A and B are shown apart, each in its own frame.
Chain A
Amino acid sequence: MAKVTVDGIEVEIANGSSVLQAAEAAGKEIPRFCYHERLSVAGNCRMCLVEIEKIPKPVASCGQPVADGMVIFTDTENVRKSRRGVMEFLLINHPLDCPICDQGGECDLQDEAVSYGRDTSRYEEGKRAVAQPDWGPLVKTTMTRCIHCTRCIRFSTEIAGVPELGATMRGESMQVGTYVEKALSSELSGNLIDLCPVGALTSKPYAYTARSWELRKTDSVDVLDAVGTNIRIDARGAEVLRILPRLNDDVNEEWLGDKSRFSVDGLKRRRLDRPWLRENGKLRAASWEEVFAAVTNKIKSTTPDRIGAIAGDLVDVESMLALKEMFTSLGSPNLDCRQDGAVFDASQRGFYLFNTSIAGIEEADALLIIGSNSRHEAPVLNARIRKRWLAGNFQAGLIGVAHDLTYATTHVGAGPDAIAALLDGTHPFAEVLKAAKKPMLILGAGALARPDGAAIHAAAWKLAAQFNMMNDDWHGFNVLHHAAARTGALDIGFLPGPEGKATAQMLGGGVDILWLLGADALDTQAIGADTFVIYQGHHGDAGAARADVILPGAAYTEKDGTYVNTEGRVQQGFIAVKPPGDAREDWRILRAISAYMGHALRYDTLQELRAHLVQTYPGFALTGELRRLAGTNLTAPAGDLAAVSSAPFQPVLQNYYQTDPISRASPTMAACVAAHYPTLAEAAE
């Protein structure tokens, strides 16, 4: 530890920290453009100048390590003068287009110019202008505004692991860009917009839409993957305009995947804003009373064991609980949340959680990924793995399709045979796992959503046990879901009851009434022709197209909801805007319909529902925090090891950008598919 004095305040800070960090520890704000906590130090903007005793010239505090006894001044006349000078140089080539710049109002340069800028410019020469390259459908470039802080270059190289950006040319001709014009191929490219301290990189879909001060900001949780990224929903009036990440070091640090950020325009399209009823083969608009009557009559005239419900991927825990309890009161055990057919033993939480936790990845020293393209299924979590890999002494193995995961991986094999090869030690990667102190494995949906999923689950558990991945202070067995609702659904047991039917049995005419709660990812062709389908959800997607009754629900931005991420972390999102038209929050629809059927659920308000949830499942009492499980319970999951087939693992996501009703409705995501998967886009047309 080094003891330093900042403006007379004594602080103790770890050796190797920078002067800027020391100043922050002392509560002093240092202006900066290029410095960023999560990126390497570049030291090229020079805005963070401070004075240090016994150093004759001002020092860039971001790159200056502290020394014991250092006396730092952050606000002397000399410091101010130096920063003013820096600011004047930065503004030489910066255009005065704040009124038409999307960064206006949330621009670091604008803010600092208020403190350190001159009221008039002394510069009379020509300003530099730079061409606007096309970086694809998400990031809009106005490189004339660029102040060459290189944050975007460092982000794409270090965090995203897709080194496509660089600074070409030099001096006044220096340009930040891709050199060869191309769309950014990172799933995290939207974060460049947040990182850019000026208006050089802004959001293309959001261009000229709103000013930051017009927006109503609501904290929420992303549901487009199972990471549970903390987000802020920015809305104006009844419209969600953009989604930004919120800081949460345990989950997403400050990153957000592109799909989660840019799918907002999908929230306005193909919405179910009124109930629909199928009559003579055609859907017609109906009133709530009509659909309630239709549903009630149909259910009353059907035996309970011929009614089934499948919960989708974006659903909140509250509505699943309401649906589950409604079905229980009707006497039907046919419930399933695994519309992808990922059937495996979920009798213990440890069997289906990402037990290591996302932050815990940083403690691991070896990783085996089985049947997952984590870059597509959970880009933010994948960035955490890359962060761990960058820190060194970390080896990753991959079983499945050999994707580029942005870090070096040893391709152990394409299918379950590779698990066997590791179990009997014939594959050299077994030595890596054996030598590791904290090895972990990630079991993806690609390994579970197949007929032998349960067997592979058991085999992976055996592998974890054999390589000492589970002990008193380490749990290295992880399941990586890609459906945001899945963990919560498993937590509340949204699974077939005794004698109950799972998804596969409900399809093909296994039930007479099928209640799809936002379930669109199943093969609707496989639903029996005579099955009466009730679709409750927010988008006119696959499920609604097949439905006989449509109950318009609320998207995640339109309701208070609880979600459990893949780690088992319970998080709550808040309502940002009202659902459109006649659409209602899903639990309310279920509550109303249950009363109609004479089985009224016991809660009238969300508070009551949540109290009931916590009472029934005490784990939900703890929100936001995560209690990491220790790997002490070595009871193996049920699963016949002999049933493992040798078919190679297949990717679960066809593409990253369109995976759910919201992103499928989004024109921005369609543009991304066109840019990155030209063959897919053609096939869609």
Chain B
Amino acid sequence: MNTHIEPTDFVFDDLAEGAVTKAIARYPAGKQASAVMALLDIAQRQMERLTGSAWVPRVAMDAVAQRLGIAAVRVYEMATFYTMYNTKPVGKFHLQVCTTTPCWLRGSDEVVASCKKVSGIEDFGQTSADGLFTMTEVECLGGCVNAPILQINDDYYEDLDAARTEALLNGLKSGAPLPPAGSSIGRQASAPVTNQTALLNNTKPVE
């Protein structure tokens, strides 16, 4: 349940304010409510910037509702529906493990186990004692070709196995910055792991 402490107020700071104005301006007059998703994201990023934890406290949802002139409960609905908004504080690194079928077939269980091992977390939804990691189970991240996928904050880390996951997380634990996103086995984008089999400068179609 809600064991965390909710802040008592939330104000968009200058940096966020610019983004808010821009987001609202995208929609025609009278349809500002459409900017709710963007504003929640801006609020969450502001929280990350200021507190190191990317989440949307209730007061921030209220601030969004007030800014858009909609009922607060409409914002609560939105924020709780999407898993990308965190309604509780998360660690500095939000480990979002995809466990949907393709990732699971390609070894997401290993990734989960490694996450638990390095962070000391016992189950999904928990935050590590050092406040570095929160592990969340997410549904398909849409990167099935490079399964299994671990999303850390905004970036995808792909083609993981137990060892590489551990190495990645141990690096983060020791204070290293997030490594470049993408395949952990050097795969180019989503090209085949072995050899490139298509677009090999063949001018003639393969017969």
Task: Give A contacts to B, CB under 8 Å.
Answer: 157, 163-170, 178-180
Q: How large is the interface on B (under 10, 10 to 19, 20 to 34, 35 or more residues)?
A: under 10
Which single member of B58, B74, B80, B81 contacts A163 (CB below 8 Å)?
A: B74
Which residues does chain B contribute within 8 Å of A170, judged by CB atoms?
A: 80-81
Which residues does chain B contribute within 8 Å of A167, judged by CB atoms?
A: 77
Contact between B81 and A166, CB atoms less than 8 A apart: no
CA distance A180 to B58 in the complex (A): 9
Once A and B bind, how many residue pairs between them come within 8 Å at the CB atom?
A: 29
Which residues does chain A contribute within 8 Å of B77, judged by CB atoms?
A: 166-168, 179
Give min CB distance, B207 to chain A, whole Å.
41
Q: Could you give 8 example pairs across A and B, Cβ below 8 Å?
A: A157-B71, A163-B71, A163-B73, A163-B74, A167-B77, A169-B81, A170-B80, A178-B73
Which residues does chain B contribute within 8 Å of A178, judged by CB atoms?
A: 73
Give min CB distance, A117 to chain B, whole Å.
30
CA distance A169 to B87 in the complex (A): 11
B12 interface residue (CB < 8 Å to A)? no
Give min CB distance, B87 to chain A, whole Å.
9
Which residues does chain B contribute within 8 Å of A166, judged by CB atoms?
A: 71, 73-74, 76-77
CA distance A166 to B65 in the complex (A): 14
CA distance A168 to B73 in the complex (A): 8
Most buried by A among B71, B73, B74, B76: B73
Shortest Cβ distance from B62 into A: residue: A180
Which residues does chain A contribute within 8 Å of B58, judged by CB atoms?
A: 180
- SS class, residues of chain B in contact with chain A: helix
CA distance A170 to B73 in the complex (A): 14
CB within 8 Å for A179 and B81 given contacts A163-B71, A164-B71: no
CA distance A169 to B77 in the complex (A): 7
CA distance A8 to B14 in the complex (A): 67
CA distance A570 to B80 in the complex (A): 50
- Nearest 9 pairs of A and B residues by beta carbon: A163-B71, A166-B73, A179-B76, A168-B80, A166-B77, A170-B81, A169-B80, A168-B76, A168-B77
Which residues does chain B contribute within 8 Å of A165, judged by CB atoms?
A: 73
CA distance A179 to B58 in the complex (A): 10
Shortest Cβ distance from B139 into A: residue: A171
Shortest Cβ distance from A156 into B: residue: B73
Which positions 69-84 of chain B face chain A at CB distance < 8 Å? Answer: 71-74, 76-77, 80-81
Which residues does chain B contribute within 8 Å of A179, judged by CB atoms?
A: 73, 76-77, 80
Per-residue 0/1 for B48-92: is the Cβ within 8 Å of any A Cβ (1 yes, 0 no)?
Answer: 000000000010000000000001111011001100000000000
CA distance A167 to B81 in the complex (A): 9
CA distance A33 to B80 in the complex (A): 25
CA distance A227 to B73 in the complex (A): 31
Shortest Cβ distance from A165 into B: residue: B73
CA distance A157 to B76 in the complex (A): 15
CA distance A178 to B72 in the complex (A): 10
Which residues does chain B contribute within 8 Å of A164, judged by CB atoms?
A: 71, 73
A163-B73, A166-B74 known; 8 new pairs, CB 8 Å cut-off, are: A164-B71, A165-B73, A166-B71, A166-B76, A167-B77, A169-B81, A180-B58, A180-B72
Shortest Cβ distance from A153 into B: residue: B73
CA distance A585 to B77 in the complex (A): 53
CA distance A166 to B71 in the complex (A): 10
Which residues does chain A contribute within 8 Å of B74, judged by CB atoms?
A: 163, 166
CA distance A157 to B58 in the complex (A): 20
CA distance A163 to B71 in the complex (A): 6
Give min CB distance, A40 to chain B, whole Å.
15
Give min CB distance, A8 to chain B, whole Å.
43
CA distance A168 to B75 in the complex (A): 9
Which residues does chain A contribute within 8 Å of B73, judged by CB atoms?
A: 163-166, 178-179
Contact between B71 and A180, CB atoms less than 8 A apart: no
